[in-house]
Every structure is written in structure tokens, then in C-alpha cells.
Structure 1
């Protein structure tokens, strides 16, 4: 796979071609907003699947919020990096206020993206969780565990690019992990895209509307 990708749409088309032979009839594609939505749009279109979003939030270390110590996905429990918590001298209870704040933002985004429409059903059908890349994998892990709890027949994690170590760690979280490229030298997802503009809530809603899965 030649890197970098031109943009998320190109990456999504390439990823879709890799997924097409897997026999995912009747699947629902759950994209992680915001960056996973353009990728997921291309995947859903190629598979003839419904596109929806599964909202996740990183749980940051309070003195340094950009340092993720866990994540939470809608419909799931918080998932923490136990080793990192121990190194920081924290317990899960110490992060209760942070988790509550992130859940509030998660709920706001769910309303912004879907209004009062519930998440597409994932029980007894294949589910493909899509993002634009895997760095530490915290939000993807929370998303996969939340979806697994609803009983899909097959759970697939699909990303265009991911850090090699993270990709290996994800093997136990999904039935299939489909990654087009796993460079050993990985600083950030954005380095593998020419166009990696930050997306807004309005962008997410526009992609969902284009796929017929926006707010009612």
C-alpha cells in the first residue's frame, strides 16, 4: 500500500476493496467520528451497508488532558489503560469526574449527529467499526467492547493505517482486524494523509445525510 493517502475518501475506497471479499452481507458500518466518517462512508457504499456513527470520547489525564488514560463509547463502560494508571498513581475512581464530563460531551455529540434516532441495531449481524487510523487504539478498543456487548455475529475493525504495535494488540478485540498499512515508524495518524483537515460536527452530519443516516 502506497502512503500517504490523498485523503480519507481515497483511504476509504482502498479499505472497502479489502473488505469486499469477506462476505459481510447485511453488515452495519459504524464509523468513529469525526475522522472515521468519510472513511466509513466509502466502506458502506462499497458493501451496500448502512452507515452510522458510534460516538467515543478519550478519557484524559486531568493535569495533561491530551494524554489518554482510557476511553468510553456510547452504550459501553469506560475502558482504561491499567498499566498507565498504575504508572501515574491513579485509580479509576480518581477519574470519575473526568468520565462524567466526557459522557456529557458524548451525549451532546450523539444528539448532534443522530437527534433522537437510536443507534442502528448491531445484534445478530456483522458489524464493521471504521476509523481513519489507529494510534494508541484507546477509542477503538472502547468502541469494539461496546459493540461486542450487543451480540454481533461478526465484529470487524477496519482502518487504513495503524501503528504496528497497536494493530497487534487489537487482534483480541475483534474477529477480524483489517489494516492496509502498519508502519513501524508511527507518530500520528495525520502523517499518513496529504489532506487531513479537522472535521466539524456539521461535516459529520453532512456525511450521514449523504448516506441516508442523518438526523430525522
Structure 2
């Protein structure tokens, strides 16, 4: 299967599938999702902002996500995994609190004193650079849903097939370009998948703001 050259090319391709959106707000999951979302917002003539999310890691092995939290939302846990690990949401309360602080720091870094966009009654497009387990995307979609938008669309270039199907229950529409059978990691589907910095995110948001 052909690779995306980079996140910008993936965003251009996604934009063509989203042109029917009516006066949308585009929300990107930082950091990688912002690079995908910028060309989408430009093509649609839509405002672009971030929706900050944080993974809730398993304390002995933090790279293993047992849940996630999004700006404006409550923690969303993988209860099946927690049970398998012999844990409960209360077991990771300290991790959740730490991630709330980091989430707030990133919101300040990306948005400063600017208020988040009003979503009630609007069409909202949530964008990320790919879906592996889908934990952060699920938390993001639930946080958006709580703001009572008219429609919620999740748009990603590539995702694990099972994850994509599970997230169809969280969004009104899921737009995904590729669901490869041999999906292992998001980065394997990009020729260039550089890690972005906070400065890169701010530059892309400034570019979108014109």
C-alpha cells in the first residue's frame, strides 16, 4: 500500500473527502494531528484549533495506555484492560491528576488566554494523524459530544481496522482513507513522520489563522 509522503499530503487527501461539511470547526489532536488538519481547514475555509488530549498510562509501564483524557472532558478508561491488569480507575488517580496538569499546561501553551471555540450547534471535524488503539480519539470525541455540536466527524488518514469500526459508535461520521490489514503503527504509513514540537504546532495554528 502506497505511503503518505507526510502529514500535509495526508491532510490534502482527507480534505477532498470533507468538502461537503457545512460551516465546520476543525479541531486537531496535537501534536501530529495539527499538521494533518491545517490543509483541511484551509481547503474548507474553516477555523482551526486544538483539542488537547493526554494518554493515561499504566504506572509500571507508562507507554501502555489504560485510558485518556481530553480538554473539557472526563477520563475515558479501557475497563477491559484495567480488569486484565487487576486495576480500577481509582488505581490510576494519581496518573490522571498528573495528566490533567500537563493537559492544562499544553492548553496554555497552544491557546494562551484565547477561549476555546464555541461548538454548540456547529459541525465539528476532529482530526488526528492516525488511529492505533483509539484511546485519545475516543476521549476527544466524547468531550466534543458533551458540548452539544450539530454533528461530529472524525477524520484520519489511516487507522487500525478494528479501532476505526469501534469509533463509529462515538462519531456521527468517520472519514478514513486507509484501514490496512497489516497495521502496526501510525508512523509506518508515512514516508516522513517527524516528531513535532510545541513551536511547530503554534506555527501551524498561526498559518491557519492567516
Output the TM-score relative to the length of structure 1. 0.96
Aligned-pair distance for 1:3?
Answer: 2.4
Q: 3-state SS of the aligned residue for 2:17?
A: helix
Looking at structure 1, the residues matched to 64 and 183 of structure 2 have their Cα atoms a distance apart, in angstroms, of: 17
Q: How does 1:90-101 map to 2 (within 5 A)?
A: 90-101=87-98
Looking at structure 1, the residues matched to 21 and 123 of structure 2 have their Cα atoms a distance apart, in angstroms, of: 6
Looking at structure 1, the residues matched to 44 and 4 of structure 2 have their Cα atoms a distance apart, in angstroms, of: 21
Residue number in structure 2 paired with 1:40: 37
Structure 1 runs of 4+ aligned residues shifted over 4 Å read none
Match of 2:86 among 74, 86, 89: 89
Matched, 1:110 2:107: yes
Looking at structure 1, the residues matched to 186 and 165 of structure 2 have their Cα atoms a distance apart, in angstroms, of: 17
- 1:41-87 CA-to-partner distances (Å, cap 9, x unmatched) read 01111111100000000000000000000000000000000100000
Aligned-pair distance for 1:17?
Answer: 0.3
Match of 2:182 among 180, 185, 195: 185
Looking at structure 2, the residues matched to 164 and 138 of structure 1 have their Cα atoms a distance apart, in angstroms, of: 14
Aligned-pair distance for 1:149?
Answer: 0.3
For structure 1, the residue ranges without an aligned partner over 5 or more in a row are none
Residue number in structure 2 paired with 1:68: 65
For structure 2, the residue ranges without an aligned partner over 5 or more in a row are none
The total of aligned residue pairs comes to 210
**Alpha-carbon RMSD:** 0.9
